[in-house]
Amino acid sequence: EHLMDCVIPAHDKDFQTLHLTLTSIRRCCPEVRRIFVVVADPTSAEEQVMPHVVQQCEGSGEPSPLCEITFLAEGDRSIWPFDICDIKQTYSNNRSQADVVGHAAEGSDGAGGSFGWILQQLLKLYSPLVRSICSPFDKI
């Protein structure tokens, strides 16, 4: 029985291995009904990742799709009430400019540094409140 949905924030740099995550969830977690992948550009992500998911499922003899995979835009204000710009603004309002620059530079990987990490955590925490993501049996 499908009892839950799964939300995965991802960055472009994750696309090379994201198909492994998606197929593993499909294979090892039969209780997952839907997988939502939250990315900057859903169309590009789907075009890059889904052929690998389908190929891997076909290669293993598994039916495809075992569960629904949907790509959502992390900047879509109809879904999320915040984006990375809000995080940067909030942080800069509460810190000196030197702290903001220094903090963002720590571990900066082109993904927005720590601001990207904070956004990913907020997306995961907020996702149960999004009606289009919540399972019909989830209570809000």
pLDDT digits (tens, 9 = 90+) for 131-140: 777 655 444 3
Q: What is the pLDDT of residue 60?
A: 64
Q: What is the pLDDT of residue 85?
A: 93
Residue 45 confidence (pLDDT) above 80: yes
Q: What are phi and psi of 11, to 5 degrees?
A: -120, 160
Q: Provide the whole-model pTM.
A: 0.77
What average pLDDT does the chain have?
Answer: 80
Q: What is the pLDDT of residue 2?
A: 63
Query: For 58-97, what is each residue's pLDDT tens digit?
Result: 766 665 555 689 999 999 999 999 999 999 888 887 765 4
Query: For 96-112, what is each residue's pLDDT tens digit?
Result: 544 544 554 444 444 44
